Amino acid sequence: MSDVEIIGSDDARLRRAAELALASAGLRGHVAIELVDAGRIAALNREHRGRDAPTDVLSFPVDEDRPVGAAPRELGDVVICPEYTADVPEAVIHGVLHLTGMDHERDEGEMLALQHELRSWL
């Protein structure tokens, strides 16, 4: 069982989106998702990625060295700026898929294809 904490919203679709993304990777654990304003996400983007601008979603993995399928773990945090996001549930899926180890900048389109499929299930 996973523990999904949503900070800044009580939208059940966001919790379901995170749970679908985790289940797709066979992972269990704690994920915190926070909705923030443009100033906060710009500061995080600058600090962690060297990009001085707001963005839609950032992911911060915590326990990425534990083997997949291990006992529940602290997977990490996802920060979303609704102001820069066309579809917040899809941004949740995107962020959580990054926490599972997927990376659309290095794969052959698998992550974005899975993201699209999972979004269609909501």
What's the pLDDT at 44?
98
Residue 41's CB: how many other CB atoms inside 10 A? 25
For the stretch 57-72, pLDDT in tens is 999 998 766 555 555 6
What's the pLDDT at 32?
96
Sign of the Cα pseudo-torsion (91, 44, 72, 63, in order): positive
What's the pLDDT at 69?
56
For the stretch 94-121, pLDDT in tens is 999 999 999 998 999 999 999 999 999 9
* Residue-range domain boundaries for the chain: 3-120
* CATH fold label, 3-120: Collagenase (Catalytic Domain) (3.40.390)
Token pair 């990625």 is found at: 49
**What pTM does this model have?**
0.90
Separation CA 88–CA 91 (nearest Å): 5
